[in-house]
């Protein structure tokens, strides 16, 4: 989910046999929640050897079925993510299966498991984009984040294999307490290694499984609002976007919106997420139990026709929401959305103080610059 939530111009729907259907063009496919890293900030990872997680993952046949239904629904682009997707021994089969359906396929990876075979695969059947996370540019910082001995060497080896194979990569990072002081070096490294735009994200999601111990670790890695602004002031592209948003300092008002309408973002409009166990979600962050649809027992078409409109029509009568986030002029500079609110508070319509602090700090910076 993007850090800057730009105002939506239109939340239009399609008509399908007398029912409304949201348009869908892109799908994030989480083929595993397992990862070979144990990153301090991760909101999803389970151990690489977690047998229960592995047993519950979608099979190739189930992925093929979902992909066929998604293509019929208009999906053009699929992002393969995780966890670490290369942990799946059948990754190449999944990747090629999606490509053969005519889909544009992107991949997110930490690059530590890249082999010569992967390089040949991507050279023969190029991904739309291949994105690699860079948690540090030294062993101390990188492995301080991943908590895995030898991971920096594996990362460097994998990235070098991709580079030697001529594979274009997009490099990105998470801005963490553990790598904050190395962020300028990380940015320089990424810009030298890749012609694609470098980006960083200071939004650390809390855990999808709401594990309290892991959530405390994530909170400990969060930067203060002042530190986030300090980083953003050094990034020309970030400055441009934030200034543009500040010029329109008013809440977005999508057509047809009701007073207590909860979802004002683009969740379920244009893109969706399918989790490792086959649960359909309007966006990757929306993990409320009532906002998951099981594609193992239902269909992609039914998710679009019935489930998405029902979730997007949810209303809130909570005064704290109606008198704050609902009509806040800073909403487009804020991390707040129903998905993030649930992860933070257990409720989809509760304000989050930390998000407010970040938004106000951005506005103060922007005003000081003008």
Domain with residue 111: its CATH number is: 3.20.20.70
Collect all residues with Cβ–Cβ distance below 8 Å to 276 and sequence separation of at least 6: 30, 31, 32, 33, 53, 56, 57, 58, 82, 83
Average pLDDT over residues 114-140: 98
Report residue 192's pLDDT band, with 50, 70 and 90 as the boundaries: very high
DSSP state of 289: G
In sequence order, what DSSP letters do the residues of 123-147 get, joined into one string? Answer: HHS--S-EEEE---SSHHHHHHHH-
In the beta sheet, which residues pair with residue 106? 79
Residue 258, pLDDT above cutoff 90: no
Collect all residues with Cβ–Cβ distance below 8 Å to 345 and sequence separation of at least 6: 352
Q: Are residues 252 and 341 in the same domain?
A: no
Which segment of 192-201, 237-246, 330-339 scores lowest on mean pLDDT? 237-246
Q: Tell me, yes or no, whether 10 lies in a domain.
A: no
Residue 334, pLDDT above cutoff 80: yes
Which pLDDT tens digit goes with each residue over 317-332?
999 888 888 888 888 8
Rounded to whole angstroms, how far apart are CA atoms 349 and 288? 12
- What integer pLDDT is reported at residue 17 of this predicted model? 42
Query: Is the model more confident about 22 or about 266?
Result: 266
Report residue 248's pLDDT band, with 50, 70 and 90 as the boundaries: low
For the packed helices 151-164 and 116-124, what is the interaxial angle rounded to 10 degrees? 40
Q: Are residues 283 and 337 in the same domain?
A: no
- Cα separation of the two ends of the chain: 28
Q: Are residues 247 and 337 in the same domain?
A: no
Q: Are residues 360 and 214 in the same domain?
A: no
Q: Are residues 241 and 98 in the same domain?
A: yes
E runs forming strands in 151-294: 170-174, 199-201, 270-274, 279-281, 293-294
Rounded to whole angstroms, how far apart are CA atoms 25 and 222? 33
Which pLDDT tens digit goes with each residue over 13-48?
333 444 555 567 999 999 999 999 999 999 999 999
pTM: predicted TM-score of the whole model, two decimal places: 0.90
Rounded to whole angstroms, how far apart are CA atoms 161 and 155? 10
Which pLDDT tens digit goes with each residue over 48-98?
999 999 999 999 999 999 999 999 999 999 999 999 999 999 999 999 999
Q: Tell me, yes or no, whether 7 lies in a domain.
A: no
Report residue 12's pLDDT band, with 50, 70 and 90 as the boundaries: very low
Q: Tell me, yes or no, whether 181 lies in a domain.
A: yes
Q: Are residues 347 and 302 in the same domain?
A: no
Per-chain mean pLDDT for the chain: 89
For residue 168, the tally of other CB atoms under 10 A from its CB is 14
Which pLDDT tens digit goes with each residue over 213-246?
999 999 999 999 999 999 998 887 777 776 666 6
- What integer pLDDT is reported at residue 235 of this predicted model? 82
- What integer pLDDT is reported at residue 15 of this predicted model? 38
Cβ pair 198, 172 in contact under 8 A: yes
Question: Domain residues for 358?
Answer: 319-369
Q: Are residues 307 and 327 in the same domain?
A: no
Domain count along the chain: 2
Q: Are residues 283 and 354 in the same domain?
A: no
């Amino acid at each position: 989910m993007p850090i800057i939530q730009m105002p939506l111009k239109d939340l239009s729907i399609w008509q399908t046999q007398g029912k409304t259907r949201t348009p869908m063009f892109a799908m994030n496919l989480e083929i595993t929640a397992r990862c070979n890293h144990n990153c301090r900030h991760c909101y999803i990872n389970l151990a690489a050897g977690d047998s229960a997680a592995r047993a519950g993952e979608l099979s190739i046949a189930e992925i093929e079925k979902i992909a066929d239904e998604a293509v019929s629904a208009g999906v053009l682009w699929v992002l393969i993510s995780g966890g670490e997707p290369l942990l799946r021994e059948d990754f190449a089969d999944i990747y090629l299966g999606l490509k053969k359906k005519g889909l544009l396929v992107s991949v997110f990876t930490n690059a530590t498991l890249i082999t010569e075979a992967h390089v040949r695969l991507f050279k023969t059947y190029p991904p739309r984009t291949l994105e690699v996370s860079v948690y540090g540019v030294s062993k101390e910082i990188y492995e301080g984040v991943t908590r895995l001995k030898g991971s920096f060497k594996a990362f460097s080896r994998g990235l070098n294999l991709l580079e030697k194979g001529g594979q274009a990569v997009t490099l990105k990072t998470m801005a963490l307490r553990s790598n904050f002081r190395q962020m300028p070096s990380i940015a320089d490294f990424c810009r030298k290694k890749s012609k694609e735009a470098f980006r960083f994200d200071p939004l650390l999601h809390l855990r999808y499984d709401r594990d309290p111990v892991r959530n405390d670790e994530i909170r400990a890695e969060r930067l203060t609002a002042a530190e986030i602004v300090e980083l953003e002031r050094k990034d020309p592209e970030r400055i441009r976007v934030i200034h543009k948003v500040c010029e329109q300092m008013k809440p977005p008002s999508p057509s047809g919106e009701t007073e207590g309408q909860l979802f004002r973002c683009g969740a379920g409009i244009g893109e969706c997420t399918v989790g490792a166990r086959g649960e359909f979600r309007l966006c990757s962050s929306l993990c409320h139990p009532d906002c998951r649809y099981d594609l193992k027992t239902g269909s992609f078409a039914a998710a679009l026709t019935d489930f998405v409109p029902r979730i997007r029509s949810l209303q809130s009568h909570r005064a704290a929401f109606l008198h704050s986030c609902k009509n806040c002029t800073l909403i487009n500079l804020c991390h707040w959305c129903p998905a993030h609110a649930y992860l933070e508070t257990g409720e989809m319509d509760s304000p989050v103080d930390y998000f407010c602090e970040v938004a106000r700090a951005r506005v103060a910076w922007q005003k000081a610059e003008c």
